[in-house]
Amino acid sequence: MQCVDRSGNIIKQNEAQDRILKILYKNKLGRILLKQLVKPWVSSVSGVILSSSCSRGLIPPFIKRNNINMAEYEERSFLSYNDFFTRRIKEGQRTVDHQPDHLIAPCDSKLSVYSITKDSHFIIKNTQYTLHSLLKNKKLADYYEGGVLLLFRLSVDDYHRYCYIDNGRKSKNYHIKGVFHTVNPIANQVLPVYKENTREFSVMDTENFGRILVMEIGAMLVGKIVNYHEDAIVQRGEEKGRFEFGGSSIIILLEKDRAVIDEDIRNNSANGTETMVKLGERIGEGQL
């Protein structure tokens, strides 16, 4: 899927990652290998290795291959690949829009917008889903009928910490166990990815956008969701959590007529194009 920035400039995607995914998902031998890769013991072993000091050698080539601007991040020595992957950005490198009626992005990502139909069917990366199959909760799925689904896709080169998009009270976290598969768009042409991924969601009563649902989706192999709070009062821009080890996704569900997404993002999504957004930047405006 093509991706553009807010000025309409095309963003180059990670072609090396795409080639690997094509091998895994688009031929028989690749899918046989994939079945082994997603087994829990493989994830456990991989996690141990990537959290160990011996994984530090993976960091320099990763930075070079993905053209990561390390000037944006805190300057320090990393103890492991995962320590590097969850690195913090320098203060001032991301500006959180605190205008109350401005809807903001929770993370650095590629954003797509979908309307939730009467039957709660929608298309995510060429694969059809229902909210019920995603949430495993029919009551919640019905509640967001007529609303909007925002899909924020994080690739491995993105900043992997995310924030709350408004002040309010969040519920506890609801975990849905799954098998890890990649969230890269290529995979969706073969497998119903989100039905396979582990995910976690909470519901939040916000000051400016009504009752929103926020879901974090883990990535292939060792992807891990780390949310910091259970039932809590939270603030816009406050760090909500982080992803470890791999690219991931965040979904936000908005009630009907609660916000209007910015025109450039809506137009891009209508044309099958993702929009690159940064943590804290405006992506829409609330409606009273």
Catalytic residue numbers read 108, 248
Residue 220, burial from CB neighbour count under 10 angstroms (0-12, 13-18, 19+): buried
Closest residue by Cα to residue 214 from 285, 179, 163, 265:
163
**Contact present, 111 and 283 (Cβ < 8 Å):** yes
Query: What is the rounded end-to-end Cα distance, in angstroms, of the chain?
Result: 34
Judge whether 152 and 109 are in contact, CB under 8 Å.
yes
CA distances in angstroms from 48 to 34, 44, 110, 245, listed in the order given = 20, 6, 29, 11
Would you give the distance in Å from CA 117 to the centre of its chain? 22
φ, ψ at 124 (rounded to 5°): -125, 115
Give the integer Cα–Cα distance in Å for 131 and 128. 10
Distance CA 236, CA 51 (A): 31
Report how far residue 179's alpha carbon sits from residue 144's, in angstroms, rounded to the nearest whole number.
Answer: 26
Residue 41, helix vs strand vs coil: helix
Separation of alpha carbons 155 and 144, rounded Å? 27
Beta-bridge mates of residue 259: 286
Please give the Cα distance from 245 to 4 (Å, whole number): 25
